[in-house]
Amino acid sequence: MATETSLSHAIALQGGGAGRESGCQRRVVRLAFAKATQTVFGRTFMPKFLRIGVHQSNVSGYTSKAWCVRRVGSAVFLKWGAVEVHGAGAGRKVYWSRLPQEKTVRCGSAQRAQDYTKAAIARRRNHRYEPLTGPIANQRPSAARSTELKQALATILIVDIVGSTAKAAKLGDARWTKVMGHYYAAVRKELKTCGGREVVTTGDGVLATFKKPAAGIACATAIQKAMRTLGLEIRVGLHAGEYTISGGEMVGLAFHIGTRVAAKARAGEVLVSSAVKELMTAQSTISLRDHGVHRLKGVPERWRLWRVEG
């Protein structure tokens, strides 16, 4: 008899994979999907879905997000949150890095629930998801044992592609996946060169930390130059602040401020918060121009921002 475990199916967004997907592979995915949605004792079990950022399938030790869906009758159950991926191939393990969020959607009828679920799955397939078998474990054992809170100070860098949705629609899934693969490779190359630490990828964005603000700014300008060869426009924001490390997870308002600073940047701009400027040494050769005082969405008070010149 088919069980929920045997019917569980995950789909991971991994760079380069979807572009190489053959027609045979697509037929296999559709067949697996059809089998997974068969009715068992009046209840339809939908496959689980997993979103793990744009990464090659053999990459280990990165963090991203997961999204799962299951339909039971007229209800659709959703679950999403941050995940960690360790190992590669058959030995790959996926863990929730913290408790996932959950939501139940009451659709009123089984047909509406089925339509809702199919539409949600289709949207994710259009964003280059790939099959990934196996469950998502609650928490990595080593992370579960490390519950002591630690404070840290860092310069936070946020990189985001401008107009990514329009570009993806224009290029198509296969070509866009290749572009994204080059994009992430270029970003990680500059992070390594400048001593940055990748924290998480968010669709077409990257969040990283640096010990010194000058290193973060140098990395941001290097990434800008690398993107020109790919025909991509990006916006970059940097903020310096404290965050908390708990069980291997980084949390804190500083990350939200960094995201809001990046959102204020236009295509081709690198903006930094006043906190970053205050940490810059007098001997720094980096030129900053006053970008005015701004209200950052959801962040207390107004913040003065500075644009990196040159």
Total length of the chain: 310
Show Cβ contacts of residue 133 under 8 Å, excluding neighbours closer than 6 positions.
Answer: 9, 10
Q: Give pLDDT tens digits for 96-119.
A: 777 778 888 899 899 998 899 888
Pick the last residue of a domain from 122, 140, 158. 140
The pLDDT of residue 13 is: 34
Q: Is residue 56 over pLDDT 60? A: no
Q: 220: closest CA among 187, 244, 260?
A: 187
* Residue 134 lies inside a defined structural domain of this protein: yes
- Rounded Cα gap, residues 202 and 26, in angstroms: 25
Q: Is residue 159 over pLDDT 50? A: yes
Range with the poorest average pLDDT among 17-21, 163-167, 235-239, 263-267 = 17-21
CATH number, residue 255? 3.30.70.1230
- Rounded Cα gap, residues 281 and 272, in angstroms: 15
The pLDDT of residue 125 is: 63
How many domains, the chain?
2
Q: Is 122 helix (H, G, I), strand (E, B) or coil?
A: helix
- In this prediction the pTM is 0.56
Q: First-to-last CA distance in the chain?
A: 65
Residue 58, domain extent: 4-140
Quick one: 155 and 232 in the same domain?
A: yes
Highest mean predicted confidence (pLDDT) among 42-56, 72-86, 221-235, 273-287: 221-235
Pick the last residue of a domain from 140, 159, 194. 140
Quick one: 65 and 47 in the same domain?
A: yes
- Rounded Cα gap, residues 200 and 193, in angstroms: 18
Q: What is the mean pLDDT of the chain?
A: 75
Q: Is residue 201 over pLDDT 50? A: yes
Q: Is 241 helix (H, G, I), strand (E, B) or coil?
A: strand
The pLDDT of residue 25 is: 45
The pLDDT of residue 265 is: 93
- Rounded Cα gap, residues 76 and 107, in angstroms: 8
Residue pair 188/135 in contact (Cβ under 8 Å)? The answer is no
> What's the half-sphere exposure (Cβ side, CA atoms, 13 Å) at 62?
24
Quick one: 50 and 68 in the same domain?
A: yes
Q: Give pLDDT tens digits for 270-293.
A: 999 999 998 887 657 889 999 999
Per residue in 261-290, is it b (16+ CB within 10 Å) or e — as a string? bbebbeeebbbbbebbbeebeeeeebebee
Quick one: 129 and 184 in the same domain?
A: no
Q: 275: closest CA among 241, 237, 299?
A: 241
